[in-house]
Every structure is written in C-alpha cells, then in structure tokens.
Chains A and B, each alone.
Chain A
Amino acid sequence: MSTRPLVAARPETIAEVTFDATLEERIVDLLRRYPTRRAAILPVLWLCQERYGWISPGVIRAVAQRLGESPAFVEGVVSFYTMYYTRPPARYVLQVCTTLSCAYCGGKELVEHLKGRLGISFGEKTPDGEFQLIGVQCLGACGGAPVVQINDDYFEQLDIKRLDGLLDELTGRR
C-alpha cells in the first residue's frame, strides 16, 4: 500500500513561519497562473499543508503576508473548507463517507467497527497519534461504497475484513 503517513509539524515550530527557497519558488510558480495574488490562497495553503502537515495560525499569517491579504481573511477561507487541518492531524486520517450510498452499503457498520477498534469517535485521534477518524460527507465514489479515504488515497468496496487488513498493514509498518 502506498499511502504515506502525514507528518505534522509541532505547533511551536510553526508559530512563526518563513517560507524557504523551495517553497517560495513553488509559490512564485503558482502566482504565475492567476491574475490576482488572492487566487493563490488555496494552492499556497495546500503547499503549506504538504510541508507542515497542518495550517497553524503562524502559517496563516505567513500566507496572508505573502499574498497581501489580512490574516483574518485567510483564516476565514481556511475555516470554510473542510480539508485544511487547523490542528495537527494523526499520521493516518481515516475519512469515512457517511452519505446515503455508503451509509446503506455497509458504511454504518464500518463506522461502528472503526470506532470500536480504535476506541475513538468522529473527530478524535488515537492516543498514540496514529489514527484519526473523521466522518465526512460524500467522497464522490458512491459506486465503490462504502468508501474510506486514508490521507490522500481512496479505498473502495471495503468490508470490515479488508479494512482491518489495511489498518493492520498501516500499524505494522510503524
């Protein structure tokens, strides 16, 4: 399995952020694509999340300053979208689809099983920081219901056995 674990920077290390040369280079490349600097907010936030693992207030301030926006504006944007982590995420974020098709094709059972196995409910992290469980709305893969997205990867047509296998593999890799 090719799913890579997320590495979240510790809050104190990104309380103040300055973009290094590689990041800056990619930001310049992004800015080339849009007629306004503001349009680069989403892609730059993605870059930052890739680099730091999550979007801390320090990251928001740096992005706002780089793109000429107020930090409040950028924070408003960050909070509108569900995929920017505003707290450090676990190494593996399990996003279980809870919408109609998935819910009726085994999703509910999957959720119950996951909650039981990991001992956490939606929005929580396991104490070892390994797994985080999020109930999400439609992932756009209803034909493969039930679907779980682990970090960037989709896993479809899951059942409890296959999911357990996946989790074992992820845990074992540690």
Chain B
Amino acid sequence: MEAVLLRARGVPDSRAIATYLAAGGYEGWKKALAMAPDAVTREVTDSELRGRGGAGFPTGRKWSFVPKDHPGPRYLICNADESEPGTFKDREIIEHDPHQVIEGIAIASYAVGAKTAYIYIRGEFVRWARILEEAIEEARRAGFLGKNGLGSGFDLDVWVHRGAGAYICGEETALLESLEGKRGFPRLKPPFPAVVGAFGKPTVVNNVETLACVPHIMTRGAHWFASIGRPRNTGPKLFSVSGHVNRPGVYELPLGVTFREIIHEHCGGIRGGRKLKAFFPGGTSAPIMTAAEVDVQADFDACAQAGTMLGSGGVIVLDETVDMVEAAANVAHFYAHESCGQCTPCREGADWCKDILDRMVEGHARAADPETLLRICRFSSSGMTICPLGDAYALPISSMVNKFREEFDRRIGTATPLPQKKLPVLPWAGPRPGFGV
C-alpha cells in the first residue's frame, strides 16, 4: 500500500511547511473552505472514517452531533495525549508531518464551526509539543491559520496545551477537565462533549491520527478513502507494534490486514526465532489474544467479533518466554497507577488486582485468587465506572486469567503461604491497670 499518513517518513526536512506544500499540503484546507461546513462533514461521514483513538466512533457522526444553532464559541480538540501502552503512532505523525495534523485540525474546526482549537499533548512529549508549536507558527505565518485564514473570513487559533502526566487525560472528558485546569476526572455522560464540552461549550475531541486522515479525504475524496480496507472499516491505519518482534515500529496498513501479516511479515516475526504466545491487538486495554487467534483481521469489527478490540492499534507481541501472571501484574500496575481515583470499583479494584497479582508473582498465590480477580474485573467493567478505565483494566486482566488459566493455577500449586508478619510484643511500662490502684 502506498504510504498516506506516513508519506513524509524518510523525506528530508519533512517537517518544513515547504516540504508539506510541495507534497500537495493544505490543498484539502483550501478545498474545504470552498465548501459549506455541512458538506465537509458529509464528505468525512461518507469516507466512513472511524476514530483512531481507541473507540472507533464514526468521525463524521461525531461532528454532526455539534448543535448547529448553538450561540457562542465551540471548540475543537486534538487529542495527542498518546498514553495507551503499546501505542506510539501519533508521535510518529507529529515527528514527520505535523502540518498534516494542523491541516486536519483546520478542516475539522471549519466543519464544526470552532474558532479555537487546542492540541492536548501528553506532558512527556516535550519535543513533539515544540514541533507542533513551530508548525502552527509556520502555518500562521503562511496565512493558513489565524484571523481570516486564506482570505476566507474564517478565523482559527490553534494552541498547544501540555498535559502533565496522567494516562486518564486521554479519555475525552478527563482531557476536557484537564484542559480547564482541573484534576483529570472523567465527567458523567450525558451530556456529551459535542453538546457540553470544554468550558461548557460544544466540543469535538479527535485523535491525532483521525485528524491526519481528514486532509487526504478532502483532497482525494471520500470514495478513495472508503476504497481502502473493508466496508465500515475504511482507510489506512497506523499500527504501532512493540514487544518481541524483530522490527518493532509504526506500520501504515489498510484496515483488515491480519495480525499474522502484521507480526510475521511486516515486523519480521518473533525475536530470536521463538514462538508467539499472545498479543494485545490494541494497547493493553484490549483483551489479550492467543497465538491461535493471529489470523483475526485487524479492524474494528473483526476484533469486536473476536471478543477484543482494535483500540488504538497498539500491537504488543509477547513470545513464549513470557509468564502471563507477571505480564498481568505489569498491566495491573499500570492501571492501578493511572486510575483517577474517582469511582469506587476502579480505584479499589485496580489496586486490589495489583496486590493479588503481585502476591501471586512473589509465590504466595491463594486458591481463590483467579476467581477473585475475575470477580473484581467483572464488577469493574460494563458501565460500573464513569469512564472506560474500569473496562480498560478489567478486560485485559480477565482475558489473561481466562485464556491462560493453567498458568495462574500453576502458581497456586507451587505457592507458599504468605509469611505472617510478627507483631512485636511491647513491654507495658506504665502502671498495671486493675482494682485498688
């Protein structure tokens, strides 16, 4: 497949606006400005582009939820808080082609009528925040952004807003809270951000990769985009592959490619000639898949059918040497650390899972542990929490327990009891209590 989103990778001086313009950059923005905002939204809807951040919600539909007659400002937010373990695709786009994202932001803002757009980028990405700021400045100087961009009468300010280290801020309502200067606590829904979003105004939050697709849809048309991949799962997709493969990295492939192709062809197979044991198809928040499921197609619907999810397309490959209990403990540590602490099941449950799994790893498993883990996971998912972080830890951990149950049970068989902490016996120094004192 020809490179679309990553076409600039390997091009010298690829970040410069001149390079971007030479490759036909900002043509989509020009074309969009000549259209009615509704028509832009329709074009994106027709392309069947689905959100690349994890949930796979149709982008055009998301835009169309913004009330048309709402007075006052609206906002567009580019979600660059890329924190899902195993995902590093947005950084790749920004590294090589930041203008692609900015053009996408401009088009999306125009479609939803936002005059201010924020790029919420994770705090650790200092370098990439700087790249974006420079690119925005370039685009502003070139007249694409700012007041009366391209003489269209459309004003657009784009600002980079750095997070400060919180996975949960990738969840769109937590992101909004964080943008508003608060602790990143996800909000209750409804109302949805399209109606009540940033600063109480209608807001659309889109992932970097989603927005990067938009200029291409504008220039080459919805039909071209929809012709890539499978029906309802259209377009190119960036897969971030990490773990025990020979060539980890970001791969641009059409949706619908199988995981076997990704792992064994594009990434050159498993390191050291070992065997594949399991893989996460879409970051650690997606249920794990075994080597037997490697022929599942990597797209939203096929993954859902296989009982997992494509998520952000962060494929983490684990080879036969990996101990699943340890891997589960590692996953649990991540979520226990990143839970915002708001909802009871997630705050208590993630930490509880971590404690149990740590104990199992240390060799003190108890017979009831796997069932307890499953119970905790069951009551942390499917709407038990405000945001999907409950599901995000419950699904992988329960899938690991279910699919590799024998490894968990083996831990029980070889377990030693937890050493009892001996409480020191302190001598009583005061007067003896009693009668007649």
Residues of A participating in the B interface, judged by any CB pair closer than 8 Å: 33-36, 38-43, 45-46, 67, 69, 76-77, 80-84, 95, 98-101, 103-105, 137-145, 149, 152-154
Give every chain A residue within 8 A of B164 (Cβ-Cβ).
42, 45-46, 81-84
Least distance between B185 CB and chain A CB atoms (Å): 8
How long is the Cα–Cα vector from A46 to B183 in the complex, in angstroms?
A: 15
Given A36-B180, A138-B83, residue A104 in contact with residue B318 (CB < 8 A): yes
Whole-angstrom CA separation of A137 from B123 in the bound complex: 13
5 nearest interchain CB pairs?
A81-B164, A142-B242, A82-B165, A83-B165, A41-B181
How distant is A51 from chain B, measured CB to nearest CB, in Å? Answer: 15
Contact A138–B167 (Cβ < 8 Å): yes
Q: 21 A-B Cβ contacts within 8 A?
A: A35-B199, A38-B180, A39-B199, A41-B181, A43-B162, A46-B162, A69-B181, A83-B123, A84-B164, A99-B284, A100-B86, A100-B284, A100-B327, A100-B334, A101-B85, A101-B242, A104-B243, A138-B167, A140-B88, A143-B242, A152-B126
Is the pair B199, A36 in contact by a Cβ cutoff of 8 Å? yes
Listed residue (A34, A36, A138) with the most chain B CB atoms within 10 angstroms of its CB: A138
Q: Which residues of A contact B184 (CB under 8 A)?
A: 80-81
**A38-B327 contact, Cβ under 8 Å, with A45-B164, A142-B87:** no
Is B181 a contact of A142 with CB atoms below 8 Å?
no
Distance from B128 Cβ to chain A, minimum over Cβ atoms (Å):
10
Knowing that A84-B165, A101-B243, A137-B338 touch, tell me 7 more A-B residue pairs with CB under 8 angstroms.
A38-B182, A41-B182, A42-B162, A81-B164, A101-B86, A101-B248, A143-B241
Contacts of A100 in B (CB 8 A): 85-86, 243, 280, 284, 316, 327, 330-331, 334
Distance in angstroms between the alpha carbons of A36 and B198 in the assembled complex:
11
Query: Contact at B180–A143, with CB atoms within 8 Å?
Result: no
Tell me the minimal C-beta distance from A89 to chain B in angstroms.
Answer: 14
| A11 CB to nearest B CB, Å | 21
Q: Is there an interface contact between A40 and B181, defined as CB atoms closer than 8 Å? A: yes
A45 to B123, CA, bound (A): 12
Q: Cβ of B91 and Cβ of A42 under 8 Å apart?
A: no
> Distance (Å) between the CB of B373 and the closest chain A CB?
18
Question: When the two chains form their complex, are residues B124 and A81 in contact, meaning their CB atoms are under 8 A apart?
Answer: no
Is there an interface contact between B73 and A35, defined as CB atoms closer than 8 Å? yes
Interface size class of B (residues with CB under 8 A): 35 or more
| A148–B123 CA distance with the chains assembled, in angstroms | 15
Chain B contacts with A in 394-436, Cβ cutoff 8 A: none
The contact string, 1 if C-beta is below 8 Å from chain A, for chain B 78-120, is: 0000111111100100000000000000000000000000000
The answer, among B181, B240, B322, for a CB contact under 8 Å with A42, is: B181
In the complex the two chains form, is B248's CB within 8 Å of A142's CB? Answer: yes
Contacts of B314 in A (CB 8 A): 142
A137 to B332, CA, bound (A): 11
- B interface residue numbers (CB < 8 A to A): 73, 82-88, 91, 122-127, 157, 159, 161-167, 178-184, 199, 240-244, 248-250, 280, 284, 314, 316, 318, 322, 327, 330-331, 333-334, 337-338, 340
Cα separation A41 to B184 with both chains bound (whole Å)? 13
| B338 cross-chain contacts in A, Cβ below 8 A | 137
A47 to B164 alpha-carbon distance, docked (Å): 12
Closest B residue to A103 using CB positions = B330
In the complex, what distance in Å separates the CA atom of A144 from the CA atom of B340? 28
Residue pair A138, B181 in contact (C-beta under 8 Å): no
Contact present for B249 and A143 (CB under 8 Å): yes
User: Which of B183, B199, B331 interacts with A76 by CB under 8 Å?
Assistant: B183
Whether B157 and A38, one on each chain, are in contact in the complex, defined by CB atoms closer than 8 angstroms, is no
Q: Which residues of B contact A34 (CB under 8 A)?
A: 199
Contact partner of A104 (CB less than 8 A), chosen from B124, B180, B322, B340, is: B322
Q: Are B82 and A140 in contact (CB under 8 A)?
A: yes
Contact between chains at A140 and B316 (CB < 8 Å): no
Which A residues lie within 8 Å of B180 (CB)? 36, 38-39
**Which residue in chain A gives the minimum CB-CB distance to B158?**
A33
Report B374 CB to chain A, min CB distance, Å. 21
Given A99-B85, A137-B334, A137-B337, does the pair A80, B183 have CB atoms closer than 8 Å? yes
Q: Which residues of B contact A36 (CB under 8 A)?
A: 180-181, 199
Query: For the complex, what is the distance from the CA of A31 to the CA of B123, rounded to whole Å?
Result: 19
A81 touches B163 (CB 8 A): yes
Inter-chain contact A142/B331, CB cutoff 8 Å: no
Minimum CB–CB distance for A35 against chain B, Å: 5
A98 to B123 Cα, complex, angstroms: 18
A152 and B127 contact, CB distance less than 8 A: yes
CA distance A152 to B316 in the complex (A): 26
Interface contact B248-A143, CB-CB below 8 Å: yes
Complex Cα–Cα for A33 and B123 (A): 18
User: Judging by beta carbons under 8 Å apart, are A105 and B244 in contact?
Assistant: yes
Residue of A42, A77, A101, A144 contacting most chain B CB atoms (<10 Å): A101
B178 / chain A contacts, CB cutoff of 8 Å: 42
Task: Please judge, given known A-B contacts A143-B250, A145-B248, whether A98 and B333 are in contact too, CB under 8 Å.
Answer: yes
**Complex contacts, A43 vs chain B, CB 8 Å:** 161-162
Residues of A within 8 A of B240 (CB): 142-143
Provide the residues of chain A in CB contact with B126, threshold 8 Å.
152-153
Distance between Cα atoms of A157 and B178 in the complex (Å): 32
Asked if B242 and A140 sit within 8 Å, CB to CB, the answer is no
